[in-house]
Amino acid sequence: MKANVGGIDRALRIIVGLALIAWALMGGSVWAWLGVPLLATGLFSFCPLYPLIGMNSCKRKET
């Protein structure tokens, strides 16, 4: 897995993911559980959908 989520994108995914999970735990909408994949992609710096659409927000080079 090559990192394809970086910087601001990663931080936003983690923050929004945690907020949605907290909302779901407090009895929010079932849709709030979409915070789980957001949090996971932020923590692992990899989004499986990005290669499919040719996107990469990670600026660092990996060898």
The answer to whether residues 27 and 52 touch, using CB atoms and an 8 Å cutoff, is no
CB-facing half-sphere around the CA of 35: CA atoms within 13 A: 18
Structural domain count of the chain: 1
Tell me whether residue 59 is in a domain. Answer: no
**CA dist 49 → 12, 24, 25, 38 (Å):** 17, 24, 26, 12
Tell whether 57 is covered by a domain: no
Domain-located, residue 17: yes
What pLDDT is recorded for position 2? 87
User: Is position 61 within any domain?
Assistant: no
pTM tops 0.75: yes
pLDDT, tens digit only, all 63 positions of the chain:
788 998 999 999 999 999 999 999 999 999 999 999 999 999 999 999 999 999 899 886 654
CB-based contacts of 20: which residues, under 8 Å, 6+ apart?
Answer: 28, 32, 33, 34, 35, 38
Tokens of 27: 């009895």
Identify whether 28 is part of a domain.
yes
